[in-house]
Structure 1
Amino acid sequence: MDMAETEEHGVDAILANGKPRKVGIAGLGLIGGSFAKSYSEAGCTVYGWNRTESTLAAAINERSVSAKLDETNIGECDCILVALYPQVTIDWVTQMAPYIEPGTLVIDCGGVKRVICEPLFELAEQHGFVFMGGHPMAGTQYSGFRYAKFDLYAGEPFVLVPPAIYDPRIIQAAELALAPCGFGTFSVTTPEKHDELIAYTSQLAHVVSSAFIKSPTALKHRGFSAGSYKDLTRVAEMNAAMWTELFLDNADNLTTEIDRVICELERYRDAITDGDSEHLQELLQAGTDAKAKADGRWPDRSRSS
């Protein structure tokens, strides 16, 4: 290896080597823990940080993490993934910024982007590292390192949120840096568009699931429930503290989506109350058509009708 190669770091090193040599991961819950397991499985050196020391000890004990991520070794990392709550993400990156080497690729993995990206784009520019918002579109209804899996991200989408003006190489570097995790697709968007879409695809689903399971009838579901019940209630058991912060950080988009659902539910309720079979059938058919259109099957359905 020549001198130029030994001096490469961060984005340049990732592009040269095809993957990061050393990875830092802040937050070792389901998301961060799964990243740690993926990278260690791929042969990368992984440094980890977690608020709860016992979780970090468990990750080191099972060799998903090589050592604690701190001020003494964060400068060695080509890529740093931050899987913390939004405000903790901002605070942690701000605290560690003076120790992050210029050119290092830092990606947050939180569920909202506007509140995180605005201050950290500016911070990264001040310190010379590359910050990019990110969102792995994968997970389970469970949280914590105990549920982390090395293949959690296999075939799943990842959303990249770069600064408004950026070097296209950082997108390539991010995809290479994340390649050991096995993501299936990557998309690039803005913080505003991310939060608008995620309010519908993720946050609204959690709100509806949480509201649905509160019916007293839920206590009597055994023997009378199947796939539809399981699908609608799967995410009702959630990390309340984390989702509260995510919902409030995206309140404008989320309340818009909640209002739309309330409006639709009122239409169904009125049609059923009025015994209006024609209108009820129209509403149900409109839902069927909307599902087909959302899945990209609208042209086929149009031809067959």
Structure 2
Amino acid sequence: MKVGIAGLGLIGGSLGKAYRSAGVTVYGQDIDPLTTQYALMAEAIDAELTDGNIRECDLILIAVTPVQAVKWFKENAEKISGQTVVIDCCGTKRYVCSHCFPVAAEHGLTYMGGHPMAGKERGGIKHSSDDLFRDAPFILVPEHADDMELLMKVKGMLMLAGFGRVGITTAEEHDRVIAFTSQMPHLVSNGFIKSDTALADSQMISAGSYQDFTRVAYLDEKMWSELFLENRDYLTKEIDGLIGELTRYRDAIEDGDRGRLEQLLAEGKKCKSAVLEKCGPAQINGERN
């Protein structure tokens, strides 16, 4: 099996290392030639992905931002074999899928949207690792979800990189859910850490909750701003909902209304219990970014 990877940041670099650890030949390329050279030295890839070897790939993973992914696919579609499976690894799916499905159809290619649900606070190939995706979920967005033979084939390809399970959804549903499960934690954490208390006190009195809550505040502002804006409809709905809830807490605290505050806290605890009962801790903690 041969895998091609376009984009050698944290995700692309980790995919390369994971596949190479599984004995798969990996070709990779990055818009920055120095990153490609680093990937070769770090043994994240076997060789550069070029026009000469791109048709050899059984699987191509596009690990860049949505706009860049569409651009790359359009520019390279005619070079790709009809036997190759192409999957993007973008954090939102509506934009990239709506543009890439027609490109695939035009060139007779097999493409589906994808989202590897794992990450780290710090990006870049220097922070990549071959175990980043161990037991993590990979979400697929196929144009047609009834080709079970193809889906099982793709699942087998992804499992080689260490993914624990593969889920199927639509681009619309993916973006609706990801606004809450991924984008909101990053956004809220990033805003929370701006407190004067955090910036002024070098000796922070804190427990593990502070570290847990602020872990994802350190993010790539260029990548995440693109994802936030692309998903603005679902994300603003989640932001408005949180603002409403925080206002209820604030009002109860300002008014000294302990009964109301206890009710609000009990509501939150009940919701958490309901989520655990419905999904289980494994699914809730599936995304490690």
TM-score, normalisation: structure 1: 0.89
Q: Distance in 2 between matches of 1:197 and 1:94?
A: 28
2:140 is the alignment partner of 1:156:
no
Name 1:52's counterpart in structure 2.
32
Aligned equivalents of 1:281, 1:64: Cα separation in 2: 52
Q: Structure 2: how far apart are the matches of 1:43 and 1:124? A: 29
1:93 aligned residue (73, 77, 82): 73
One-letter amino acid of the counterpart of residue 150, structure 2: I
Q: Displacement, 1:135? A: 0.6
* Residue 283 (structure 1) aligned with residue 264 (structure 2): yes
Residue of structure 1 in register with 2:97 after alignment? 117
Are residues 1:269 and 2:250 paired? yes
How far is 1:58 from its partner? 1.3
User: Which aligned pairs between 1:104-143 and structure 2 lie closer than 5 A?
Assistant: 104-143=84-123
- Structure 1 residue 185 displacement after superposition: 1.5
One of 149, 160, 166 as aligned partner of 1:169? 149
Amino acid of the structure 1 residue aligned with 2:246: L
Does residue 258 (structure 1) correspond to residue 239 (structure 2)? The answer is yes
Identity of aligned residues (%): 47
Larger Rg: 1
Return the alpha-carbon distance in structure 1 between the equivalents of residues 145 and 17 of structure 2. 33
Deviations 1:143-182 (A, max 9, x none): 0001000000001111111004652222111111111111
Shift of 1:97: 0.2
1:223 deviation in Å?
Answer: 3.8
Distance 1:162 1:208 in 2: 31
Query: SS of the counterpart of 1:172?
Result: helix
Give the letter aligned to residue 191 of structure 1: A
1:271 & 1:70 partners in 2: Cα distance? 61
**Kept after mapping to 2: 8 A contact 1:55/1:145:** yes
Q: Residue type of the partner of 1:82? A: I
Q: Once superposed, which parts of structure 1, at least 4 consecutive aligned residues long, lie more than 3 Å away? A: none
- Structure 1 position 84 matched with structure 2 position 87: no
C-alpha displacement at 1:67, in angstroms?
1.4
On the 8 A contact 1:103/1:128 being kept in 2, the answer is no
The separation in 2 between residues aligned to 1:189 and 1:221, in whole angstroms, is 45
Equivalence for 2:285: none
SS in 1 for 2:132: coil
Give the match for residue 69 of structure 1. Answer: 49
Q: In structure 2, what is the Cα distance between the partners aligned to 1:56 and 1:150?
A: 17
Deviation at 1:63, TM superposition (A): 2.4
Aligned pairs (5 A) from 1:202-217: 202-217=182-197
Tell me which of 179, 201, 219 is aligned to 1:199. 179
**Unaligned residue ranges in structure 2 (runs of 5+):** 280-289
CA contact (8 A) 1:105 1:131 kept: yes
Ranges in structure 1 where 5+ consecutive residues have no aligned partner: 1-20, 299-305
Question: What SS does the corresponding residue of 1:200 show, helix, strand or coil?
Answer: helix
* Equivalent AA in structure 2 for residue 266 of structure 1: T
Matched-pair contact (CA < 8 Å) for 2:179–2:231? yes
Matched, 1:243 2:224: yes
Could you give the per-residue CA deviations for residues 168-204 of structure 1, whole angstroms, max 9, x where no partner exists? 2221111111111111111100000000000000001
Match of residue 164 from structure 2:
184
What is the SS of the residue equivalent to 1:106? strand
Contact map agreement 2:198 2:204 (CA 8 A) in 1: no
Report how many aligned residue pairs link the two structures.
278
Q: Deviations over 1:33-65 (max 9, x none)?
A: 000001111111110010111111111123221
The answer to which of 179-188 and 73-82 deviates more is: 179-188
